[in-house]
């Protein structure tokens, strides 16, 4: 089968991703073999490929937004069932975090496309207990970004404590942000988007955002909540300063460049809060996927053939992707 692997982590211009031919993987205990039908291209994949996240598996295959078909019968799923594989791959189930419903904080957690091979391939294996059943009425390319961009964006939105009818600011407007924004809009929020990409600003306005401006522009109004999706630490003080009293900022990325020194009076005083977002629980995923189906979230996708995975990641790094990039095996002929 065709697969991509991180040959040597480094800047995307050094071509760290390499296409290889491998045997179809054999599932281990509790795992299921899946034929990949679509795999989203997430910024976390870029962090794994460029080495921002320290390597955990040599020559790992990235990709953790996988829509596929079950190849062999399991306990929960039958052959041919449509399933989703997301970022969270396993947890211990025994630690204090797991027992209290915070499995996203499990110290023994593992992750698809980082600890184990992911979906930049024609086949993948994944633990059956961490798979999501998926409806079959939308294309795999549309569903794939929901499995990480959507789930993480949803958790970030809930962490941001947006009040009913509140005012939400979003910094960065890619795969996660354009989905989280639609949920906020459906719940009656006014959404203000801050991003350097002109096409992303246009998409935000098309989806119903109240405003869209450059990352460091003034906000049209004070914000109750904010989310920073872009991996740029310099956006944190910018977002905090646009919060109203008692506002909350959630930082959604797994990697962030250094945050500049904060000024207590300007950035945090008046009970402004700064929170991080770490992975997700399976309950987050199940709740979000039900909500996404009910709201019929519009998923803006830029498709690439599996053979173009390196170009897809380079386009993501260069802010040349509108919405979410998705790899589609077989699309290259």
What pLDDT score does 323 carry?
84
Question: For residues 33 and 89, is the Cβ–Cβ distance under 8 A?
Answer: no
Sign of CA dihedral 316, 69, 55, 53: positive
Q: Within 13 Å and on the Cβ side, how many CA atoms surround 142?
A: 13
| CA distance readout (Å), 227 to 171, 276, 317 | 6, 10, 20
What lies within 8 Å, CB to CB, of 246 at 6+ separation is 224, 270, 271, 272
Question: For residues 94 and 69, is the Cβ–Cβ distance under 8 A?
Answer: no
pTM recorded for the entire structure: 0.91
Rounded to whole angstroms, the Cα distance separating 250 from 248 reads 7
Torsion region of 296: left, alpha or beta (phi above 0 gives left; psi -120 to 50 gives alpha): left
What pLDDT score does 275 carry?
97
pLDDT tens, residue by residue, 4-42: 999 999 999 999 999 999 999 999 999 999 999 999 999
Q: All domains of the chain, ordered by start, with CATH?
A: 2-134+300-328 (3.90.180.10), 151-276 (3.40.50.720)
pLDDT tens, residue by residue, 134-181: 977 899 999 999 999 999 999 999 999 999 999 999 999 988 999 999
What pLDDT score does 332 carry?
62
What pLDDT score does 322 carry?
85
What pLDDT score does 150 carry?
95
Q: Which residues of the chain have pLDDT under 70?
A: 332-333
How many residues are listed for the chain in this entry? 333
* Burial tier of 214 (Cβ tally within 10 Å: 0-12, 13-18, 19+): exposed
């Amino acid at each position: 089968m065709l697969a991509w692997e991180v040959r040597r982590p480094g800047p995307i211009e050094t071509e760290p991703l390499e296409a290889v031919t491998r045997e179809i993987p054999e599932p281990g205990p509790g795992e299921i073999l899946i034929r990949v039908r679509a795999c989203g291209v997430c910024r976390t994949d870029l962090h794994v490929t460029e080495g921002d996240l320290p390597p955990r598996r040599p020559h790992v295959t990235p990709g953790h937004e996988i829509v596929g078909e079950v190849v062999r019968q399991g306990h929960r799923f039958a052959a041919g069932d449509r399933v989703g594989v997301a970022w969270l791959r396993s947890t211990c189930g025994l630690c204090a975090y797991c027992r209290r419903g915070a499995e996203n904080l499990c110290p023994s957690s593992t992750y698809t496309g980082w600890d184990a091979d992911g979906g930049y391939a024609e086949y993948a294996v994944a633990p059956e207990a961490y798979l999501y059943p998926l409806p079959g009425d939308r294309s795999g390319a549309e569903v794939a970004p929901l499995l990480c961009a959507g789930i993480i964006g949803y958790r970030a939105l809930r962490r941001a404590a947006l009040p009913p009818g509140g005012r939400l600011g979003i910094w960065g407007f890619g795969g996660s942000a354009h989905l989280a924004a639609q949920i906020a809009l459906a719940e009656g929020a006014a959404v203000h988007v801050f991003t350097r990409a002109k096409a992303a600003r246009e998409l935000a306005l098309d989806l119903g955002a109240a405003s869209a401006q450059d990352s460091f522009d003034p906000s049209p109004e004070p914000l109750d909540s904010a989310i920073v999706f872009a991996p740029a630490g310099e956006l944190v003080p910018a977002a905090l300063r646009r919060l109203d009293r008692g506002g909350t900022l959630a930082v959604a990325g797994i990697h962030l460049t250094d945050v500049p020194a904060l000024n207590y009076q300007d950035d945090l005083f008046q009970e402004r809060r700064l929170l991080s977002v770490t992975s997700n629980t399976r309950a987050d995923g199940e709740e979000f996927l039900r909500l996404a189906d009910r709201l019929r979230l519009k998923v803006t996708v830029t498709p690439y053939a599996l053979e173009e995975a390196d170009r897809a990641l380079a386009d993501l790094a260069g802010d040349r992707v509108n919405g979410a990039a998705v790899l589609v095996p077989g699309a290259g002929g």
